[in-house]
Amino acid sequence: MPQAPKRWHFELLWPVLRHPHRALPAIVSSTQALWLTPLVLLSALALVQVLVAMPIRQGVAASANVELPPDFQYLTPEQQAQFQASLSASGGPMFTLVFPALAALGRIWFGWLIAAAILHLTMTLFGGRATMGSMLNRAAWAGLPLGIQTLIRIAALLVTRSLITAPGLSGFAPAGDGWLAALAGQVLSQVDLFMLWTLVLLVLGLRAQDDPGPSKAWTAALITIVLALLLGALPGLITSRLSSMTIVRPFLF
């Protein structure tokens, strides 16, 4: 009686990080869906980071200076209470837990699907014959360095008890409150050594089977990374814009 395929492959985590030249060919040549293990691991680490950052976000929201409208003293006590409640919403679980968690999970899963689809399309245009399932496996395991990045950020949150305000290269983002500046900040916040590590793993994965050559592999990987960064920034962009919203007058007169 044939054995059912394994669902979890934690034994591949360390080999992929330590010896990708040896581990990736086995992953690439497999006909099984091996992407679940790295994606679940990345998702769990992302949720832990959100939970660790939650009380810090609440503290920042509670200590923020609130600018009252000029006619605040003329409002009824009920309207004043409603106004205060609307301002305190930024420190509630919706903005400190739910939205950040959804943004983190969306970046992981949505980014993985987009990366695999772009890889498959690009390599097909270059004459490759790899299946979409193979690209799903390659994209998932190439993202393992982002798990190490998340572990380091969790440790930084626990030690400093303050939010990481400028991850990656986000400090080079243009100043301003518009959508373009926010998008640039979200994209650059994902660019660091771990993203470069992911890029290298993508290239190694593309060359592990039916090697298209270094130039095509690097071109496909770079196109994938750039487009995945742009699209993967959307959840964080929406969350950041929602969390910065201030309801100035939530009443009808």
Q: What is the pLDDT of residue 169?
A: 80
Q: Which domain holds residue 129?
A: 20-60+87-243
Nearest to 193 by CA among 183, 201, 184: 201
Tokens linked to 134? 């193979």
Q: What is the pLDDT of residue 61?
A: 72
Q: What is the pLDDT of residue 234?
A: 74
Q: What is the pLDDT of residue 50?
A: 96
Phi first, then psi: what are they for 211, rounded to 5°? -50, 115
Nearest to 30 by CA among 148, 150, 149, 140: 140
Q: Is 199 left (phi over 0), alpha (psi -120 to 50) or beta?
A: alpha
pLDDT profile of the chain (253 residues), mean per 10 = 73 95 92 94 97 90 63 64 61 84 89 92 90 94 96 95 82 70 79 93 91 92 90 69 48 33
Phi first, then psi: what are they for 75, rounded to 5°? -80, 155
Q: Is residue 119 part of a domain?
A: yes
Helix (H) or strand (E) holding 46: helix 36-63
Q: What is the pLDDT of residue 1?
A: 47
Place of tokens 């969390």: 243
Q: What is the pLDDT of residue 7?
A: 83
Predicted TM-score (pTM) of this structure: 0.81
Q: Is residue 185 part of a domain?
A: yes
Q: What is the pLDDT of residue 241?
A: 60
Q: Is residue 32 part of a domain?
A: yes
Domain count within the chain: 1
Q: Is residue 72 part of a domain?
A: no
DSSP per residue over 55-85, as a string?
HHHHHHHHHS-----TTGGGS-HHHHHHHHH
Nearest to 22 by CA among 32, 35, 11: 11
Q: Is residue 124 part of a domain?
A: yes
Residues in Cβ contact with 225 at an 8 Å cutoff, skipping those fewer than 6 apart: 115, 195, 198, 199, 202
Query: Are the C-beta atoms of 208 and 28 separated by less than 8 Å?
Result: yes
Q: Is residue 8 part of a domain?
A: no
